Structure 1
Amino acid sequence: MPFNLSLAEREAAGLRRRLPAVDNVNGRQLVSQGKAYLNFAGNDYLGLSQAPELIKATAHAAHEFGVGAVASPLVVGHHAIHRELEAELADWLGLEAVMLFSSGFSANQALIKALLTKEHTLWQDRLNHASLQEAGLLSPARMQRFAHNDMAQLAAKLKPQSGLIVSEGVFSMDGDQGDWQGLSQLAAHSQNWLMIDDAHGLGVLGKQGRGTLSEQGIAADSVQVHMGTFGKALGVSGAFIGGSRALIDYLHNHARSYVYSTHLPPPQAAAILAAVRVVQTANQPREQLQARIAQFTAGAAQLPLTLMPSTTAIQPLLVGEEQACMQIANQLRERGFWVGAIRPPTVPKGSARLRITLSAAHSKEDLNALLSALAVGIA
């Protein structure tokens, strides 16, 4: 059958994906088939996935509300714990209103398909996440992509009052930040709406972990649509869209994946709420994470490594060729280090990389051990 041929071709090119058999995982350690590894592949940037406060909140909510929301939010699935979480998120991030989704992929698809018509244009950074790119392809709007963080090219493409500009806060495969000063100025000048996907900035950047906009000194109301996820620095899962009350009311009626999906389980909402409260005062873990980032980049600079320019927890090591990337990842795994090998189509052909992600849960010794293993693996 055709799909068998497709898998064979991917296997031969070193591009076939397989589900790892994971027994347990947190910000620092991963256990697979009984063997422990240092985990440099996850997104648990503050090490909160095993935090006692989150576990306690989850257990309490499960006892009080049960384990399921029972229905979609517009039927009977929107519980008191969901309302409390939405209110706290809005207050933390300086937004009028917030709504919850089961995943960032779902949130991005729902927003773009609900908001844009064939009369609109969607401008996307070329390195935006797959959920945003696919939503653009499925939307009736015309989609135009601009070169990564290229404000001059975007300015040349923009038409006044005709659509939505979308960029990530921290780019998930490159680790660099969007140019939000440039984006907000272009959006304001052209009177187009602006959207941020801050999945990888929320919790780790800015005052009280408010994210990329706070880090770069951009007012929240300069951006009309805010999307963030709970499965990275907050250590749980799920996502939100925030903005004006009018926007959220509109999406309550037009975002199909929200209208027709069972809501987040109440224990999950309780865990997210606990994470939001922890993150707002998590200055020490954020400082710890920054120390690990500085340690890794300084150590890598002493080795023949090609690191991409990133100051965030995502530290991509460019390899180039797909088979070589897999070989290095496998060598690291044999030495007890779990590192993600990212290959096409997730990244452009010829830019396969090790996506090394750091956590506040990592120690100095963990980073020294990884750097030593990399020195051997690339020799």
Structure 2
Amino acid sequence: MSTDLIAGLERQLDALADQSLTRRRRTADTACAPHQVVDGRSMLAFCSNDYLGLASHPRVIAALREGAELYGAGSGASHLVSGHSRAHALLEERLAAFEAPHLVDAKALYFCTGYMANLAVLTALGSDPDAMIFSEALNHASLIDGARLARAGVTVYPHGDVATLEAKLAASNATTKIVVTDSVFSMDGDLAPLPELLALCERHGAWLVVDDAHGFGVLGAHGRGALEHFKLRSPNLVYVGTLGKAAGVGGAFIAAHAAVIELMIQRARPYIYTTAAPPALAHALLASLDIIEGEEGAQRRTQLNGLIAQLDGELRLQRWQRPLSHTAIQPIVIGANEEALRVAGRLHAQGLWVPAIRPPTVAVGTARLRVTLCAAHTEHDVARLATTLNKLETEQLERTAP
């Protein structure tokens, strides 16, 4: 019987391989940075979400070390038992103040991961079976899973389609309406129309949950994210920010009206029933926030925007498609899974680490390279990437020419 069970799993794995959908891990031997040693080999990486280059910043590393000395290595329990340390409390106060210009009576709650934060916010707000969640078609898997786990009904609206969402909201008799969207879409790099979405939510008495995983620290004059970028403020906003990307450490937070945060503490199972993150991480994140909202953070955002413009100007693609993106996420849509893997392999052979993204992460027929830029990249790094991509596409065109 056990042999049959294993054989069933092996058939599933073989089916993935036949479709060029097998995933593999690479092992980084050095700190997260543009230039890394990976599986024993020097690589130039364009694949991390460390957009400001803070993951190996000396001030953040020193703060992490100091946090471990102050609070130890672990928290020991969930936040509601004994795991809520002074470091967590200080971080939540700081995050609430950081996002306060865009929220009313703002409070914040820190989570171990962005995935858990998204599960928490949707299952808590959507705990009523008479509620309805209106979910963007290209939302991250964590939002999709959060909606599935909620007791609320779920309806999906097409990507960026404000008119369809408005019709759905107007037709709904739900007691609680929750619109949920990514701010920066992780595979395309485009922005959600947040001002229009917020106007709809205010008109129809709905919550607007914004997952700003790829905007926090990067967008806005002070790095406060998508809400600052669009100059939004409303009591209807529930903001989810990720702290393992531009902030360079780990975890995530929900910032919203104090009543929303209190509901999370009382009802959000992913918060109540998990061990709190190590306090040292929260302590290190205070240093990250100092950098993000200070002069150095502004300089790093300027550097990043310059690199985005450079890549846009130096890529000369004819067949591969580039969805319009003004963010650090720069996708190059190749199409077939096999070709995307082949191009990623050619890049890897030349010391460039760029991942091939395939279904189900993206739609069938839209396999792509997901290039991510970082403020710690140099102009030379970006030029090397652009030159190599241009050459590889030209070679592909020559091979397939009649």
Question: What's the TM-score bracket when you normalise by the shorter of the two chains?
Answer: over 0.9
Mapping for residues 12-27 of structure 1, pairs under 5 Å: 12-27=18-33
* Equivalenced residues, count: 378
Identify the residue that residue 112 of structure 2 maps to in structure 1.
102
Mapping for residues 245-256 of structure 1, pairs under 5 Å: 245-256=258-269
Identify the residue that residue 120 of structure 1 maps to in structure 2.
131
Structure number with bigger Rg: 2
Is this contact kept in 2: 1:57–1:274, CA < 8 A?
yes
1:332 aligns with 2:342: no
1:86 aligns with 2:97: no
The 3-state SS of whatever aligns with 2:264 is helix
RMSD, matched Cα: 1.2
Measured after TM superposition, the shift of residue 257 of structure 1 is 1.4
Measured after TM superposition, the shift of residue 303 of structure 1 is 5.7
Distance 2:316 2:207 in 1: 40
1:74 aligns with 2:84: no
Measured after TM superposition, the shift of residue 132 of structure 1 is 0.3
Is this contact kept in 2: 1:27–1:43, CA < 8 A?
no
Q: Map Cα deviations across residues 73-121 of structure 1 (whole Å, 9 max, x no partner).
A: 1111111111110011111111411011110111111111122121111
Measured after TM superposition, the shift of residue 22 of structure 1 is 1.8
Distance 2:211 2:332 in 1: 23
1:197 aligns with 2:211: yes
Residue from 221, 225, 232 that aligns with 1:218: 232
The 3-state SS of whatever aligns with 1:49 is coil
Identify the residue that residue 142 of structure 1 maps to in structure 2.
153
Query: Counterpart of 2:25 in structure 1: which amino acid?
Result: L
1:228 aligns with 2:238: no
Distance 1:113 1:377 in 2: 46
Is this contact kept in 2: 1:300–1:307, CA < 8 A?
no
Distance 2:67 2:28 in 1: 27
Identify the residue that residue 54 of structure 2 maps to in structure 1.
48
Residue from 164, 171, 180 that aligns with 1:153: 164
Q: Map Cα deviations across residues 260-292 of structure 1 (whole Å, 9 max, x no partner).
A: 111110111111111011100111000000000
The 3-state SS of whatever aligns with 2:222 is helix
The 3-state SS of whatever aligns with 1:289 is helix
1:296 aligns with 2:307: no
Q: Map Cα deviations across residues 149-191 of structure 1 (whole Å, 9 max, x no partner).
A: 1101111111365310001111111100010111011101111
Distance 1:223 1:315 in 2: 31
TM-score by length of 1: 0.97
Identify the residue that residue 33 of structure 1 maps to in structure 2.
39
Measured after TM superposition, the shift of residue 351 of structure 1 is 0.7
Query: Counterpart of 1:329 in structure 2: which amino acid?
Result: A
Is this contact kept in 1: 2:317–2:390, CA < 8 A?
no
Query: Counterpart of 1:56 in structure 2: which amino acid?
Result: A
Measured after TM superposition, the shift of residue 27 of structure 1 is 3.3
Identify the residue that residue 251 of structure 2 maps to in structure 1.
238
Distance 2:15 2:183 in 1: 35
Measured after TM superposition, the shift of residue 304 of structure 1 is 4.9
